[in-house]
A and B are shown apart, each in its own frame.
Chain A
Amino acid sequence: MSAGPTDAHLLERAPFLLRDWLTHALPEPLRWFANTLIAIAAILAIFGTLFALLTLVERKVLGRVQNRPGPNRTGWFGILQPVADGIKMLTKEDIVPRAADPLLHFLAPVALLGFSVLTFAVIPYGRDLVAVRLDAGVLYFFAAGSATELSIFMAGWSSNNKYALVAAMRALAQLISYELPLLLSAVPVVLAAGTLSAPDIVESQGGFTWGFVPHWHVFTPWGAAAFLVFFISALSESNRSPFDLPEAESELIAGHLTEYSGFKYALFFMAEYFGMCSLCGMAVTLFLGGWQAPLAALEFIPSYAWFALKLCALLLVFIWIRATLPRLRMDQLTRFAWKFLVPLALVNLAASAFWSLSFGWAGPMQALRWAIGIALAVGPFVLLGRRLGAGIGPRTYRYA
């Protein structure tokens, strides 16, 4: 745990001052231990409340989109709704089907939540504000993320229910086929930043050109394409709207969650929201410049506030997409991944390599560089899109 920026103004150093004030009385070895405990407690507290608020915000935004107010009976503007849901989940009887496999049935939510919480360790929330400064942070993030698939299958298989089984098979196929574009879209960022450590990636996105355009990766042609692929894959990894096939209500009732009730059901939802938050956090870190301020003049606002703002913006886009789009079918979903996202990510890798190699070009060559960059990013998108959408299209109708 770093000592924190010494030169920045008070707000920036606030978290570190708070931590030091708490642990200054402890002897040396215990202090390190206390610091990590505080970091863990802080992350769990913040993201726990964010989860609670997110369930409420999601239902309020969905409501507003559908011309209705959303929950507003509990507390002022429905603010106590998460508390009500929590109590309901706690008091509900936890039914385990007789023919279920009790050990796996119990372990599934625990493993899912465990691995999805692990991913919070490497995300840089602010300047020097990262729980564990790992050299291979991004790889650690994806490793922890990929272990959650096992637990979803555990849940589906152990409930011994037809719907759960079909959903578990779907979940496996979906998560594997979208993990590849997720990683492939992160590789260009590592190539551009030259490091796998998340804080260094964010630092490499500092600085501005012409005073107001920040050096975020999303403002480069390959960055925009990679961000799009990463965002779509993140939607699918966290089982969110167009890709929420495992718990497709219309076909499989609640998919692999069918046989869960009570607090285990709540744990699954907490794991899903944690997964969503961590993927959005990594998207912000890789592409939207982590805790970097968008304008030089706005640097007085503390860095962790910028990270929180961007995270909430991405989460709102997640909810916005859930409010609008219908669900893809299983084979369309996997074909979309293998025939659209993976080729796009691979070509984008080449585009990013070209962008890094052509760093030295100046003057008119700069315009050529941008032209080639954009062509390499948009070209495959249009071509693959046309091939993917070959069979479908608007139709004209005649009248009898």
Chain B
Amino acid sequence: MLGTGLLQGLAVTARNFLGSFYDRRRFVTTQYPEQRTALPEAYRNFPFLVCESADDPMGTLRCVACQICEKECPPQCIYIEKSKDKKPDANGKPQIYPAVFDIDTAVCMSCQICVEVCPFDAIKMDQVFELAATDRFGALLMDRHALAKPNSYFQSIHPTEAGEVDSRLLAARLAAEEKARTAAAAKAAPKPAAPKPPAAPSAEAPKPSPPLA
């Protein structure tokens, strides 16, 4: 009979209207500034540079300015200038560091390609999305000072990924030391009489991760 479909529709809207007062499924709005939805762990926004310790970010940057991410970045929003001198990195090996490392967040589309292609786990995706800036010109171009964040912060926002990265880096460092020790032992071996080098202080105990910054 004409009109039964309309009544059915009205019944559905009435159920939703009444439901919205008690049924969580029918009232889905979160009042943004006051309430915030929990961001899933895999959420990614603009990248940031990982540095080992919080108190000396520029000194302990993992990035070695190999410029792979600059080439691979689809919208070309990363700009790197290598440093002239070298500085020792976490494993003690002298490495080049980026004198200038700019990411133009106005151009970056947070596609996370740079994180994938970085062989040194030096750049990871951040979870900060409130980046409104009043200055339209400079504020959106983030230099390395604004980008550097400590490894502890990385562990706080991406715990599982940070866990894998740290275990991998630790294994790599132990392997490197193992190799260094065997090489040293081999170099020391031909002089049998040389006193056994003091047992390397177990690779000065894996670098304790700095206290939570």
Where the two chains meet, the residues of A that have a C-beta atom closer than 8 Å to any C-beta of B are: 61, 64-69, 320-321, 323-325, 381-382, 385-386, 388-389
Contacts and interface: CB of A to CB of B under 8 A. Distances in A.
Contacts of B9: 324-325
Interface in B1-38: 1-3, 6, 9-10, 12-14, 16-17, 20-21, 26-29, 31
Contacts of B14: 320
Given A320-B10, A321-B10, A324-B10, A64 B17 contact: yes
A325 B6 contact: yes
20 contacts: A61-B17, A64-B20, A66-B16, A67-B16, A67-B29, A68-B28, A320-B13, A320-B14, A320-B17, A321-B10, A323-B13, A323-B17, A324-B6, A324-B9, A324-B13, A325-B6, A325-B9, A382-B1, A385-B2, A385-B3
Given A321-B10, A324-B9, A324-B10, A389 B2 contact: yes
A69 B6 CA distance: 25
B8 to A, nearest CB: 10
Given A324-B13, A386-B2, 17 more contacts: A64-B17, A65-B13, A65-B16, A65-B17, A67-B20, A67-B27, A67-B29, A68-B29, A69-B27, A69-B31, A320-B13, A320-B17, A323-B13, A323-B17, A324-B12, A325-B6, A389-B2
Main secondary structure, interface of B, reads helix
A242 to B, nearest CB: 9
A132 B26 CA distance: 47
Interface residues of B, number: 18
Contacts of A65: 13, 16-17, 20
Contacts, number: 44
Nearest to B18: A64
Nearest to A386: B2
A288 B138 CA distance: 68
Shortest beta-carbon contacts, A-B, top 7:
A385-B2, A324-B13, A68-B29, A64-B20, A65-B17, A65-B13, A324-B9
Nearest to B12: A324
A374 to B, nearest CB: 15
A352 to B, nearest CB: 22
Contacts of B29: 67-69
A35 B16 CA distance: 47
A346 B134 CA distance: 68
A386 B1 CA distance: 7
A400 B156 CA distance: 52
Contacts of B26: 67
A349 B171 CA distance: 93
A385 B1 contact: yes
Interface in B109-144: none
B12 to A, nearest CB: 8
A323 B9 CA distance: 10
A361 to B, nearest CB: 29
Contacts of B27: 67-69
Contacts of B16: 64-67
B70 to A, nearest CB: 44
B144 to A, nearest CB: 40
Most buried by A among B14, B17, B27: B17
